[in-house]
A and B are shown apart, each in its own frame.
Chain A
Amino acid sequence: MENKFRGYFQPQQAQEVASAFAKYKVEYMFIGKSGAILLGYPSSTQDVDLFPKKTEENGRRMVLALTEIGFDITEEIEKKIIKGNDFVQIKTGPFDLDLIFAPDGIESFEKARERMIVIENFPVANLLDIIASKKASNREKDLSDLPLLEDFREEFEKRNIGKLKTTLEIALEKIDKLKRE
């Protein structure tokens, strides 16, 4: 039985996600294969994986943002998001969405945010964290991705030296600039 809502993630929706999440100040980042794809990893997936910060306030904001972009957030789903269940999978919107509040292999949202990369309007977990999470999940499909993801990470880093910065690097630069002024 296929769910009547199911579609897939398209560029227009990606912009809507970024806009709605920014509007409601949701703290989150793309993770998993969907995150790697945004960074240029040549693969495909049907799920959008997001790693939101696990707080009730952030959950409430996320509910508002998801509703705005067309998800049918029932009372039951809302409770799970606000409570911050480790894993919430939603197929009642314009695309399939996994909310992973506690990804395996990542110590905390704050640590991941320091390493996070912002590409265009999209906050994306660092490839090191995406790889760590896949390693820790210990699933056949994730482990089979690992060698290619490691190769991609090497190439990504070679090509982006000095171009893409983590949020921590950006913050440190700002502090340094303030000190010099």
Chain B
Amino acid sequence: MERSVEERIKYGFFRQYKPILDDVPFRAFEKMEDYRKWADESLPRYLGYKLVKTDKDGE
């Protein structure tokens, strides 16, 4: 919080290749749930996009 906004931007953003996620120039989903489902099913688990199962999901 001590950093200026300029420093927050300078040190807060970076570039790192993420497989699948970064392999197309553009993607769009009509509904957020479609995007969440795509990410859950398509991206490697270690990227962190997996949905967390809850009791509601019956698991």
Contacts and interface: CB of A to CB of B under 8 A. Distances in A.
B25 A9 contact: no
Interface string A21-47: 000000000000010011010011110
Nearest to B32: A86
A2 interface: yes
Contacts of A6: 15, 22
A159 interface: yes
Interface residues of A, number: 53
Contact of B52 (A5, A103, A143): A143
Interface of A: 1-3, 5-11, 14, 34, 37-38, 40, 43-46, 48, 72, 74, 76-77, 80, 85-92, 95-96, 100, 102-104, 119-120, 122, 137-144, 155-156, 159
B59 interface: no
A142 B50 CA distance: 10
A130 B31 CA distance: 19
B26 A34 contact: no
Interface in B2-37: 2-3, 5-6, 8-18, 22-32, 34-36
Interface string B27-55: 11111101110011000000111111010
Contacts of A76: 26
Contacts of B32: 86-87, 100, 102-104
B13 A87 contact: no
Contact of B9 (A9, A86, A141): A9
A11 B6 contact: yes
A8 B15 contact: yes
B52 to A, nearest CB: 5
